[in-house]
Structure 1
Amino acid sequence: MSRLHPAELIARREDAVKALSQPDLAAAVDLVVWVEQGTDGPVALAANHLGRVRLHADGRHEVLEGQDPVPSEDPMAFLPYELECANPGPARSVDNAYPYAAARILSLFADPTRSPDLAIVHTPRHWFPDEGGHHGEHGSLDVIQSRAPLVMSGVGVRRLGLVDDHARLVDVGPTLAALAGVPPEQLHDAHGEPLDGGVLTAYLEGEQPREPVVVGMLWDGGHCGELLAMAEAGELPGVARLIDAGLALRGGAVAQFPSITLTNHTSILTGLGPGRHGVLGNVFYDRETGERVVPNDASTWHRSGEWLRPAVRTVFEMVSEVVPPRDTPRTACVDEPIERGADYSTMAVIRASGSGNGAAGLGELLPDPHGSGHVHDRAHLDDGYYSWATQVDDVGLQQMTQLFADRRAAPRFTWWSNVVTDAGHHAGGPRSEIARASLRDADARLRAFLAHLDTLGMTDDVTFVLTADHGFEAADEAVTGSWRQALDDLGFPYRDEGPGFVYLMAEEGPDHS
Structure 2
Amino acid sequence: MSRDEDREKFIEALCAPGLADIVDLVCWVEDGEGGPTAYAANSVGRVRLHPDRPREVVSGQDPIGSEDPLAFLPYERELADPSPARSTHNAYPLAATRLLSFFADPDRSPDLAVVHTPRHFFPEEGGHVGEHGSLDVIQSRAPFILSGAGVRRQGYVDAYARLVDVGPTLAHLAGVPEDDLRDAKGEALDGRPQLQYLQPGTRPSHVIGILWDGAHCSDLLHLAETGELPGVARLVERGVALRGGAVAEFPSITLTNHTAILTGIGPGRHGVMGNVYYDRATGERVVPNDESTWHRSAEWLHPAARTIFEMVGDHLPADAAPRTASIDEAIDRGADYSTMAVIRASGESGADALDDALPDPHSSAFVRNRDYLADRYFRWCLRVDDLGLQQVLDLWADPALAPRLTWWANIVTDGGHHGGGPRSEMARDSLRQSDARLSVFLDQLERLGVLDDVTILLTADHGFETSSPEVTGSWRPALDALGIPYRDEGPGFVYLL
Fold conserved between structures, TM > 0.5: yes
**How far off its partner does 1:362 sit?**
3.2
Partner of 1:73: 67
Deviations 1:385-437 (A, max 9, x none): 11111110000000001111111011100000000000000000000000000
- Partner-residue secondary structure (3-state), 1:447: helix
Partner of 1:39: 33
> 1:112 and 2:106 equivalent?
yes
Deviations 1:193-212 (A, max 9, x none): 01000111111110222x63
- Partner-residue secondary structure (3-state), 1:408: helix
Partner of 1:176: 170
Distance 1:14 1:113 in 2: 20
Partner of 1:205: 199
- Partner-residue secondary structure (3-state), 2:437: helix
Equivalent residue for 2:400, pick from 401, 408, 429: 408
**How far off its partner does 1:309 sit?**
0.6
Partner of 1:94: 88
Query: Is the CA contact (8 Å cut-off) linking 2:25 and 2:114 kept in structure 1?
Result: yes
**How far off its partner does 1:58 sit?**
1.3
* Mapping of residues 363-442 of structure 1, within 5 Å: 363-442=355-434
Equivalent residue for 2:305, pick from 291, 295, 312: 312
Partner of 1:509: none
> 1:282 and 2:275 equivalent?
yes
Partner of 2:463: 471
* Mapping of residues 249-268 of structure 1, within 5 Å: 249-268=242-261
Partner of 1:348: 341
Distance 2:288 2:484 in 1: 28
Distance 2:404 2:304 in 1: 24
**How far off its partner does 1:453 sit?**
1.1
> 1:445 and 2:448 equivalent?
no
* Mapping of residues 222-241 of structure 1, within 5 Å: 222-241=215-234
- Partner-residue secondary structure (3-state), 2:36: strand
* Mapping of residues 490-501 of structure 1, within 5 Å: 490-501=482-493
| Superposed structure 1 runs of 4+ greater than 4 Å apart | none
TM-score by length of 1: 0.96
Sort the Cα spacing of 1:500 and 1:360 in 2 relative to 1 into closer, same or farther, 3 A: farther
Partner of 1:164: 158
Query: Is the CA contact (8 Å cut-off) linking 1:37 and 1:43 kept in structure 2?
Result: yes
Partner of 1:56: 50
AA partner of residue 374 (structure 2): D
* Mapping of residues 147-162 of structure 1, within 5 Å: 147-162=141-156
**How far off its partner does 1:360 sit?**
4.4
Partner of 1:28: 22
**How far off its partner does 1:326 sit?**
2.7
AA partner of residue 202 (structure 1): Q
Query: Is the CA contact (8 Å cut-off) linking 1:299 and 1:361 kept in structure 2?
Result: no
**How far off its partner does 1:304 sit?**
1.2
Query: Is the CA contact (8 Å cut-off) linking 1:190 and 1:313 kept in structure 2?
Result: yes
- Partner-residue secondary structure (3-state), 2:26: strand
TM-score by length of 2: 0.99
Distance 1:240 1:375 in 2: 21
Sort the Cα spacing of 1:129 and 1:360 in 2 relative to 1 into closer, same or farther, 3 A: farther
Partner of 1:145: 139
Query: Is the CA contact (8 Å cut-off) linking 2:310 and 2:333 kept in structure 1?
Result: yes
More deviation in 142-151 or 369-378?
369-378
Distance 2:442 2:351 in 1: 27
Percent identity, aligned pairs only, is: 66
Equivalent residue for 1:302, pick from 295, 304, 309: 295
Query: Is the CA contact (8 Å cut-off) linking 1:181 and 1:212 kept in structure 2?
Result: no
Task: Flag structure 2 segments of 5+ consecutive residues without an equivalent.
Answer: none
Distance 1:409 1:455 in 2: 16
**How far off its partner does 1:299 sit?**
1.0
Partner of 1:508: none
Deviations 1:295-331 (A, max 9, x none): 1111111111211111111000000011112353000
**How far off its partner does 1:364 sit?**
3.3
Deviations 1:260-316 (A, max 9, x none): 100000000000000000000000000000110011111111111211111111000
Query: Is the CA contact (8 Å cut-off) linking 2:346 and 2:353 kept in structure 1?
Result: no
Distance 1:399 1:326 in 2: 21
- Partner-residue secondary structure (3-state), 2:2: helix
Equivalent residue for 1:331, pick from 324, 335, 343: 324
Distance 1:290 1:98 in 2: 32
Distance 1:360 1:422 in 2: 21
**How far off its partner does 1:20 sit?**
0.2
Query: Is the CA contact (8 Å cut-off) linking 2:150 and 2:198 kept in structure 1?
Result: yes
**How far off its partner does 1:361 sit?**
4.3
Query: Is the CA contact (8 Å cut-off) linking 1:350 and 1:359 kept in structure 2?
Result: no
- Partner-residue secondary structure (3-state), 2:409: strand
Distance 1:328 1:188 in 2: 23
Distance 1:360 1:14 in 2: 45
Partner of 1:511: none
- Partner-residue secondary structure (3-state), 2:207: strand
**How far off its partner does 1:463 sit?**
0.3
- Partner-residue secondary structure (3-state), 1:495: strand
What is the alpha-carbon root mean square deviation over aligned residues? 0.9
AA partner of residue 9 (structure 1): R
